[in-house]
Homo-oligomer: A and B are copies of this chain.
Amino acid sequence: MSTLFSKPLSVLNLGVGTFADAIRQGGGEAVHIEWAPPANGDRATGIALAGIVNHPRVEAANAKAVERLLAAQPRLEGIGIAREALPGMGRRMILHAGPPIEWSRMCGPMKGAILGAVLFEGWAANSKKAQALAASGEIDFAPCHHHSAVGPMAGIISPSMPVWVVKNATHGNRSYSNLNEGLGKVLRFGANGAEVIDRLKWMQQTLAPTLQAGLDRLGEIELKPLMAQALHMGDEVHNRNAAATSLLIKRLVPALMRSGAPPADVAAVIEFMAANDHFFLNISMAACKSMLDAAHGVPGSSLVSVMARNGVDFGIRVSGLGKRWFSTPAPVVNGLYFAGYSMADAAPDLGDSAITETAGLGGFAMAAAPAIVKFVGGSAQDALANTLSMTHITLRRNGAFTLPALDFAGTPCGIDARRVVDTGILPVINTGIAHKAPGVGQIGAGVTHAPLGCFTQAVSALARSINPLARSINPRARAVED
């Protein structure tokens, strides 16, 4: 020991940074290496993870799942009515964002949006009666994801609403989303006044049939090339859809004009789309959903096929674990708040739009969209760093979605729940922030992360399914069957 301390110390410090600080304060030199044990040191999860890392069955299942994700070819097929188009949609059913949740636990914006949907459907004459009906148990509430659908923010889809229909031409599955209402007082943030209901009626009676007439004329739109082009034009197709919306308009307009639809309707529809740079978002989400549904259901796969938030819980689904949700409380987003608002005003993370990140877009493709940092915060370097860090938790690069700023590398794609738990690197999500009260609307935006708890539960569940003898390892995992 005396020999050791007679020389100047050169210390490599692993994990807890304060040891290195102490050595430096004492005049020594220390190189600190960031490291944390898997699953933040949770022993049971660590054992579960060890049982499925490099497991041949999981590796083969993931290869198959991610191959299906990459091979999917979403096409915009047309517009349907939810009650006719969505599989299993009941006549007194309202779909919402995120994992399952009962009325009493729902957040303010979701409750407000549901009351709006009840009024829109004509199930109640006023807001008070709508409230009583919603609380009565006579309406079935279910996640959009249980019906091959996705919706941004509150994500409300009721039976009479028009929905985008996206077909994955490779595997034949279809996905759905509602139509984007624009900004301001809108249902998805929980507003439900007369202007909101009137707009929803106009979308049902004019927007949807006019767009359908245009699509009838144009035929299906291949969505992957359009989204790929938008990535080369500064979108990440989650919180920036300015280019994708413009490209869609450019494709649709000549067809709309030759569709035979009334010219005044065509003009109003184009103005509506042109005034809303987020118009493409819901199509992007449905496209991502169709790709991920194709990758879902491969036994043994740890590929994450859903990340979704209902404003109370954050839930994920995993390809090899069927219909189960793995949920933990949704975080409040520490983002850029509009003037006059702060985290104290925010609903916890909300919406199905994290389906874009699940598919390797949005925050995962931020390197394509440096201008978005003005909206979600950070610098252009942060945008690059977010994309690069996601390569550590994904299975592949998606050659269909290339990133010019990274010399046309593909977007990191196919989240492996094992790698999230192993590295502690959490999936990054670009998100809007809703006020916690219904109808106030968007009060900010930011970069947030999926909570680790969902992934540790999923890893434990997968380990039990792969190694049944280990079933008793982690009894704390909470799984919800739909």
Contacts and interface: CB of A to CB of B under 8 A. Distances in A.
Contact of A249 (B246, B257, B266): B246
Assembly stoichiometry (copies): 2
Interface stretch (A174-182, A193-201, A405-413, A416-424): A405-413
Given A234-B232, A380-B407, A407-B379, A258 B250 contact: no
A106 to B, nearest CB: 37
A274 B257 CA distance: 13
A425 interface: no
Interface string A373-385: 1100001110000
Interface in A200-244: 229, 232-235, 242-243
Contacts of A233: 233-235, 242-243, 371
A17 interface: no
Contacts of A406: 380
A377 to B, nearest CB: 13
A93 interface: no
A100 interface: no
A405 B243 contact: no
Interface residues of A, number: 34
Given A233-B233, A370-B404, A373-B404, A257 B242 contact: no
B405 A370 contact: yes
A26 to B, nearest CB: 37
A81 interface: no
Interface centre among A233, A274, A408 (most CB of B within 10 A): A233
A254 interface: yes
A258 B267 contact: yes
A246 B250 contact: yes
A271 interface: yes
Given A249-B253, A370-B404, A371-B404, 13 more contacts: A232-B371, A233-B234, A233-B235, A234-B243, A249-B250, A257-B266, A257-B270, A258-B267, A380-B405, A380-B406, A380-B407, A381-B407, A405-B405
9 contacts: A229-B242, A234-B234, A246-B246, A251-B274, A253-B253, A373-B404, A374-B404, A380-B407, A380-B408
